Amino acid sequence: MTPRILFLDHVGVLGGAELSLLDVARHFADVSRVALFEDGPFRHRLEEAGVGVDVLAAPESVKKVSREGGKGGDLKSLPGVAALAWRVARRARGYDVLYANSQKSFVVGSVAARLARKPMIWHLRDLLTDDHFSASHRRLAVTLGNRLATRVIANSEATAHAFVESGGRADRVRVVYNGIDPAPFEAVTPEETAAARREIGLGDAPAVGVFSRLSPWKGQHVLLDALTRMPGLHAVLVGGALFGDEERYAASLHEKVVAYGLSDRVHFLGFRRDVPRLLHAVDVVAHTSVAPEPFGRVVVEGMLAGRPVVATRAGGVLEIVEDGVTGRLVPPGDAAALAETLGALLAAPARTAALARAGREAARRRFSRDAMLEGVARQICGVAGFQAVT
Ligand code: UDP
Ligand code: GLC
């Protein structure tokens, strides 16, 4: 019998972690529910997919805790964490396993799992490195992980490695790669592609696309710098400001476009639901993260859409792209290298098409949704018989 799972996530917006959970939760929808600590579009997407959702709104003090924050904010949030954990623990009674999909939901969930005496899975989708987290938050996450997670699922070897390097117990971790259904990326017709190009206003110009939330570490500014070296190339920026102070970064990108005189060539599309169609509308997909990417769904999606992908050489991306074989890699934050590689890809269409074909095959083979679901199911079944770690 499939164990009953209570999934936890602290956000209501649609980041990669949430889109990935959408596929997992849909698969287990008959026996599971998702508890979110804030309302938002993620709830609608889950409900559309037939997944039951409860919103257990987090107190303000818990919402305020940020990745980079220190002990002061953490201490202030303690009563809120405890109150939320009690509510989660009460919900947990009807389930066999708790499954946290984000850091904050893991902190709350690990306390709840202990109270409810349930096993706890932590799906770790972040790199516990100082690029992404304050030292005190890494320590807290690892301490709780070692004591209260029955199993840690990491979305890449890079993520697993960073957990262990931070003091995490290697025997707790299993790597399950994100998997993505290729169908929507393959179903886009030439007519739909042409219509998307018209809508964006690309004409016949070559175009590069970035498909990421607008966030300083996602590095869209590097693409704008590269663009100044590439007359005639258009850039399509798909994604919105989702978390924390990403709005400020989004505003700075707009200012940069004006300052560089790039307004005619840069297209900000905001957060979109039609990513497959937009991937087809561009000639090259760029991944520009300046800090190591834990995994990078967009890299796989670009490959599945049959687009040549240029990505930054760090983190989980190294497990996805083989440079010169299934895509191209450039050093993070290097606008000159990015411009040069984009130029080389556009200048050699036949070679670039072969690279994109190889990328698509590799992505289909190595990052299938079925393999991800099987991997997650194995971990869930493996812990379902356990009691919470005491
Ligand atoms: N995405 C989307 N709409 C957008 C921009 C991005 O649906 O406007 C999706 C994208 O297709 C991918 C996810 O958001 O599936 C981003 O995941 P990724 O792992 O690349 O990055 P994260 O945001 O999780 O760090
Ligand atoms: C996180 C990471 C991203 C990863 C996604 C899904 O949001 O930033 O790299 O692809 O989770 O696991």
- Give the helix/strand (H/E) hosting 112: helix 103-116
Enter the tokens of residue 72. 């002061």
pLDDT of residue 374 exceeding 50, the answer is yes
pLDDT value of position 65: 78
How confident is the model over 145-172, as a mean pLDDT?
97
Mutation choice for ligand 1 from 271, 298, 321, CB with most ligand atoms inside 8 A:
298
- 167 and 260: one domain? no
Rounded Cα gap, residues 109 and 149, in angstroms: 9
How confident is the model over 149-159, as a mean pLDDT?
97
- 251 and 340: one domain? yes
Name all residues whose Cβ lies below 6 A of ligand 2: 15-17, 20, 125, 155, 178, 293-297
DSSP for 23-79 reads HHHHHTGGG-EEEESS-SHHHHHHHHTT-EEEE-PPPHHHHT--TT--HHHHHHHHH
pLDDT of residue 142 exceeding 50, the answer is yes
Quick one: which of 221, 190, 193 has its CA closest to 207? 193
Q: Domain for residue 350, yes or no?
A: yes
How confident is the model over 250-279, as a mean pLDDT?
97
pLDDT of residue 83 exceeding 80, the answer is yes
pLDDT tens digits for 53-81? 999 987 787 788 777 777 777 777 787 88
- Ligand 1: nearest atom to the Cα of 18: 24
How confident is the model over 333-361, as a mean pLDDT?
98
- Ligand 1: nearest atom to the Cα of 17: 24
Q: Domain for residue 390, yes or no?
A: no
How confident is the model over 114-121, as a mean pLDDT?
96
How confident is the model over 166-182, as a mean pLDDT?
97
- C-beta separation of 71 from 91 below 8 A: no
- 65 and 101: one domain? yes
239 lines ligand 1 (CB under 6 A): yes
Q: Ligand 2 center to residue 124 CA distance, Å?
A: 9
How confident is the model over 380-386, as a mean pLDDT?
83
pLDDT value of position 386: 57
pLDDT band at 358 (very low <50, low <70, confident <90, very high): very high
285 lines ligand 1 (CB under 6 A): no
- 107 and 214: one domain? no
pLDDT tens digits for 22-37? 999 999 999 999 999 9
- 36 and 84: one domain? yes
More confident residue, 197 or 387: 197
Q: Ligand 2 center to residue 12 CA distance, Å?
A: 15
pLDDT value of position 72: 72
Q: Ligand 2 center to residue 203 CA distance, Å?
A: 33
pLDDT value of position 109: 96
- Which range of residues forms the domain containing residue 341? 183-366
- 212 and 82: one domain? no
Q: Domain for residue 103, yes or no?
A: yes
How confident is the model over 374-380, as a mean pLDDT?
95
Smallest CA separation from ligand 2 atom 6, residue = 17
**Ligand approaching nearest to the C-alpha of 21:** 2
- C-beta separation of 59 from 81 below 8 A: no
- 38 and 139: one domain? yes
What is the number of domains present in the chain?
2
Q: Domain for residue 77, yes or no?
A: yes
pLDDT band at 390 (very low <50, low <70, confident <90, very high): very low
What whole-number percentage of the chain has pLDDT above 70? 98
Q: Domain for residue 315, yes or no?
A: yes
- 204 and 172: one domain? no
Smallest CA separation from ligand 1 atom 5, residue = 239
- 123 and 189: one domain? no
**Ligand approaching nearest to the C-alpha of 299:** 1
179 lines ligand 1 (CB under 6 A): no
- C-beta separation of 85 from 371 below 8 A: no
What whole-number percentage of the chain has pLDDT above 90? 87
Domain at 303, CATH number: 3.40.50.2000
pLDDT value of position 388: 44
- 159 and 81: one domain? yes
- 174 and 190: one domain? no
- 163 and 234: one domain? no
pLDDT of residue 387 exceeding 80, the answer is no
296 lines ligand 1 (CB under 6 A): yes
Q: Ligand 2 center to residue 156 CA distance, Å?
A: 9
268 lines ligand 1 (CB under 6 A): no
How confident is the model over 103-113, as a mean pLDDT?
94
Strand 234-238: give its sheet, edge to edge.
Answer: 266-270, 234-238, 207-211, 284-286, 309-312, 328-330
pLDDT of residue 1 exceeding 80, the answer is no
